[in-house]
Amino acid sequence: MTRATQPEERRRSAAGAADFDDGVRRYNDTRFNAIAVKVFPGEHYVTRDPREMLVTVLGSCVAACIRDPLAGIGGMNHFMLPESADGQWGTASASLRYGNFAMEQLINDILKGGGRRERLEIKVFGGGNVLESHTHIGSSNADFVETYLAAEKLPIAAADLRGRYPRRVHYFPLIGRAMSLELRRQQDAVAVGAEEKYKSRLKAEPDLSGSAELF
């Protein structure tokens, strides 16, 4: 387990590690017969453990689920572009610092673990306009991830982006299965509270997170 260098990034595992066990982020999910690993805002996680299922709840944030099926390695990130001083989202500097960093860290860790860019399978989720704001934060995050991947010539295999509701995403990196569940009950909206806190942290820093669908 290593610490990332950016202030908005929390703990992540090294590729292939299976020691992300602090009693909160990692638990046994009997419904899926898997070891669930929670990925919170500002984090990414990479694994080659076939027992692991990555789980996150997305509101306005976006998660990219990426794997190399031949190398047997994959992972997920969870990120949001920060709001600039003028109240706009997705400015060039913000995208470079937060969005590009989140995508590059995930992709680079997969490549370090033996993955190849031309084999990457990419699925993207989130970007709902669920936070109270005069701007469409979620749409800006969704626009960013689509633009970034197009610029990098990395095709999107599946996507569930934008909309009004938060989502819970379950991802099995080794087989590529992803499940996106819309959270429409009022109590489920509490699950995106972590994103509100994350948004506040990003604002404070200088400008240098229904029906199930399978993907």
Catalytic annotation, residues: 61
Lookup result for tokens 């099926």: 69
Do 63 and 76 touch, CB atoms closer than 8 A?
yes
Question: Burial level of 96, CB count in 10 A (0-12/13-18/19+)?
Answer: exposed
8 A C-beta contact, residue 123 and residue 215 = yes
**CB contact at 8 A, 60 and 41:** no
Task: Tell me the C-alpha to C-alpha distance, in Å, between residue 14 and each of 38, 104, 171.
Answer: 15, 15, 18
Using only the alpha carbons of the chain, give its radius of gyration.
Answer: 16
Query: What's the one-letter identity of residue 131?
Result: L
3-state secondary structure of 126: strand
